Structure 1
Amino acid sequence: MPFTRYVEIGRVAMINYGKENGKLVVISDVVDQNRALVDRPDEVRRVVSFKRLALTDFKVEIPRLARKSVLKSALEESDAFNKFHASSWGKKLESRRAKAATTDFDRYKASVKKTQRGRAIQAAIKKLGK
């Protein structure tokens, strides 16, 4: 399968480093071979290194250096952020966040369920073996 995630105007990318880790942004312009100008409807436009961006499969049709209103309407029309959260990559990130937010008691309950499930599987295997 050929490579399809190119750095281009309108490409949705995820910031993969720093305090904004996990946030989705849209590439608004390419500054040079190492940096891009990224934008998000509720944040200030800024320059980010490509090393801190993970390109997604989603693209929004916007012109270069689009205004906030144009970006917001294009994101609403394409629904790119919601499509990302519905993809397997987005679901995996959400499950990681949910697991990191669990308490000791939640982890204990999960451990008990896992033990019960394992015992039920072993009992079923023994029953089939007889």
Structure 2
Amino acid sequence: MTAFKRFVEVGRVVLLSNGRKAGRIAVIVDIVDHHRVIVEGPTTGVHRHVASLSQVTLTDISIKDLPRTIGTAALKKAIVKSGVVESWKKTSWAKKLEVRRIRANLTDYDRFKVMRLKKQKRFIVDRQLAAVRKTQSA
């Protein structure tokens, strides 16, 4: 049994972590050498380019039996058929990134509203907790 679950392989879905396309997912189309791969994401707006492995993060999602240097149209069909984007959006990793993106784009008034909602939630939870403790001690 191996300790690693995510291998650099053709068909592996990666998350781009640097550059203008950071935060988008792409698929490894070919392996150049030990440090670089060719990635493309026709459904996510990532053009085909050579990316360093230090600039991408491997995900658990992969497309099985994807041939090396597959064309853009065939890759797009394979991505849609295997449901890569939908399965990515279901992961907790993608959800955390989306929350982080939304939080970064809040205005002052939006942050104020979030603060007020958190206070209301805390007040309700504390009140219910006190009621439960009171019934247990009685």
Instruction: Please report the TM-score for the alignment, with normalisation by the length of structure 1.
Output: 0.90
Asked whether the 8 Å contact 2:63–2:82 carries over to 1, the reply is: yes
**Residue in 1 aligned with 2:79?**
75
Alpha-carbon separation, structure 2, partners of 1:11 and 1:126? 50
Among residues 45, 56, 59, which one is paired with 1:53 in the alignment?
A: 56
Letter in 2 for 1:120: I
Asked whether the 8 Å contact 2:26–2:46 carries over to 1, the reply is: no
Asked whether the 8 Å contact 2:15–2:26 carries over to 1, the reply is: yes
Unaligned runs of 5+ in 2: none
Alpha-carbon separation, structure 2, partners of 1:45 and 1:32? 16
Deviation at 1:100, TM superposition (A): 1.1
Identity of aligned residues (%): 35
Unaligned runs of 5+ in 1: none
TM-aligned CA distance change 1:124 to 1:22, over 3 Å? same
Deviation at 1:2, TM superposition (A): 3.8
**Residue in 2 aligned with 1:17?**
18
Instruction: Please report the TM-score for the alignment, with normalisation by the length of structure 2.
Output: 0.85
> Aligned pairs, how many?
130
TM-aligned CA distance change 1:102 to 1:128, over 3 Å? same
**Residue in 2 aligned with 1:108?**
112
Deviation at 1:59, TM superposition (A): 0.9
